[in-house]
Amino acid sequence: MTRSHSIAVLPGDGIGPEVVSCALQVLDAAEARHGFTTERREYAAGAGHYLETGELFAAVEEELRDADAILFGSMGDPRVTPGILERGFILEMRQRFQQAANVRPVRLYPGVPTPIADLTPERCELVIVRENTEGAYVGRGSTVHAGTPHAVAMQESLNTRAGIERVVDFSFRLALGRRRRLTLCHKTNILVAAGQLWQQVVAELGERYPEVEVDYVHVDAMCFHLPLTPERFDVVVTDNLFGDIITDLGAVIQGGLGVATSANLNLDGTAPSMFEAIHGSAPDIAGTGTANPAGAILSLALMLGHLGEGEAARAVEAATVEVLGGLPALAGPAMGLSTGEIGSRIADLVRSGEASAELVPDSLLGTLAALPASRR
């Protein structure tokens, strides 16, 4: 029987629909070549839908829950007050579906320009695992004397042992399938309470994984080491806010937000995982055909790995890398090809099976293999 997967598609706002449509075209090609099918359901979500209906994540939660995986475009629009969609949809989904680990590979692909002089693909192949449901992202806090010169703002960061354990354990397993090195990134010298709990958990779980070498780097020092000596890192595990910040830095190192991608993984099979490019909705260039769809297509590759379609995942990544390596620039009109043309080229390569698998570093196989299986 043909393997089949049910996928919820949320194109969202701005450039989201354009890049997701490229990813779906590549998915068609992958299905034709690799012998599986998907049943796709598209959902209206994002700024336009919110402005019309007032609906946020709660309106689709139950329907999305049944999907094997979620493919997400981007969300955000200048007409909606900043924070409403971020908290009411994106963070709500990560929390309600307990997408505990935000896996963000930082890979410099062959032929892709990086602003870091002399950096080579061999030296830049790491994965950042960001805790995705807690920390400062719980949105707890309070304001007293608002609007007066004595205004007081308290913003809390929540850190639970269970929340840290699940993401640290996942990171150890990921490291086992790769170069066997795990780095905790935090700020233990200042955020002492949270830092101690993170360090304790890493030390305790580390005893179960004696093959993995454990390392620690402060988040400020990470901003120094990551661009200059990325080869020092294999898997980096960190809290929600630090992860948000250092993965943008990681994206710059690997050529920009247009190529960076992520998997928001539910680790216990109770709800679907979600796959998205790291870039935002970029409303200023929406509809101009100048967005790079690579980030969205690489998130499709991660999704395929998660669904157990490892061969298709590698083929999609290899085809994307081949096309990316031939572009004169990674963003804007200077790319020389439109969003749709890049998508079609990648889809054609996937369909013909002609992309060179050598373009994909081996360690991605470990990354994909360690992703927890989808719910079916």
CB 285 within 8 A of CB 21: no
Q: Does 244 bind Mg ion (CB under 5 A)?
A: yes
Cβ nearer to ligand IPM, comparing 90 with 175: 90
In whole angstroms, the minimum distance from the beta carbon of 241 to ligand IPM comes to 8
Cα-Cα-Cα-Cα dihedral sign, residues 281, 359, 373, 230: negative
| Residue 251: contacted member of Mg ion, ligand IPM, none (CB under 5 to 8 Å, by partner type) | none
Report the DSSP beta bridge partners of residue 105: 127
Residues 6+ apart with CB under 8 A from 209: 172, 175, 176, 182
3-state helix, strand, coil in the chain (%, to 5): 45, 20, 35
Distance CA 371, CA 172 (A): 12
> What is the DSSP annotation of 271-316?
S-EEEEESS---GGGTTTT-S-THHHHHHHHHHHHHTT-HHHHHHH
| Residue 90: contacted member of Mg ion, ligand IPM, none (CB under 5 to 8 Å, by partner type) | ligand IPM
Among 8, 20, 90, 112, binds ligand IPM (CB under 6 A): 90
In whole angstroms, the minimum distance from the beta carbon of 152 to ligand IPM comes to 25
In whole angstroms, the minimum distance from the beta carbon of 260 to ligand IPM comes to 9
CA of residue 260 relative to chain centroid, distance: 7
Q: Report 277-306 residues binding ligand IPM (CB under 6 A).
A: 278
268 has catalytic annotation:
no
CB count within 10 Å of CB 210 equals 7
Which member of 13, 137, 209, 234 is catalytic? 137
244 has catalytic annotation:
yes
CB 170 within 8 A of CB 267: yes
| Residue 215: contacted member of ligand IPM, Mg ion, none (CB under 5 to 8 Å, by partner type) | none
Q: Interface with Mg ion by CB under 5 A: which range of 28-36, 242-250, 300-308, 360-368? A: 242-250
In whole angstroms, the minimum distance from the beta carbon of 264 to ligand IPM comes to 8
Backbone angle region of 147, left / alpha / beta, with phi > 0 → left and psi within -120 to 50 → alpha: left
Distance CA 219, CA 241 (A): 10
> What are the distances in angstroms from CA 352 to CA 26, 61, 242, 346?
12, 37, 41, 10
| Residue 86: contacted member of ligand IPM, Mg ion, none (CB under 5 to 8 Å, by partner type) | ligand IPM
- For helices 339-352 and 294-306, what crossing angle results, to 10°? 40
13 has catalytic annotation:
no
Length of the chain: 376
239 has catalytic annotation:
no
CB 253 within 8 A of CB 124: yes
Cβ nearer to ligand IPM, comparing 271 with 335: 271
- Binding string, 228-267, against ligand IPM, x = CB under 6 A? ----------------x-----------------------
Distance CA 326, CA 19 (A): 19
| Residue 291: contacted member of Mg ion, ligand IPM, none (CB under 5 to 8 Å, by partner type) | none
| Residue 60: contacted member of ligand IPM, Mg ion, none (CB under 5 to 8 Å, by partner type) | none
187 has catalytic annotation:
yes
Distance CA 233, CA 244 (A): 17
CB 37 within 8 A of CB 72: no
In whole angstroms, the minimum distance from the beta carbon of 254 to ligand IPM comes to 15
List the one residue out of 231, 227, 233 whose CA is nearest residue 254. 227
Radius of gyration (C-alpha) of the chain in whole angstroms: 20
In whole angstroms, the minimum distance from the beta carbon of 243 to Mg ion comes to 8
In whole angstroms, the minimum distance from the beta carbon of 178 to ligand IPM comes to 23
Cβ nearer to ligand IPM, comparing 244 with 309: 244
Cβ nearer to ligand IPM, comparing 86 with 165: 86
Q: Interface with Mg ion by CB under 5 A: which range of 81-89, 109-117, 124-132, 241-249? A: 241-249
| Residue 68: contacted member of ligand IPM, Mg ion, none (CB under 5 to 8 Å, by partner type) | none
Cβ nearer to ligand IPM, comparing 121 with 293: 293
Q: Under the rule (CB under 5 A), what is the footprint of Mg ion?
A: 244
Q: Under the rule (CB under 6 A), what is the footprint of ligand IPM?
A: 86, 90, 244, 278
Q: Would you please indicate which residues are annotated as catalytic (active-site) residues? A: 137, 187, 220, 244, 248
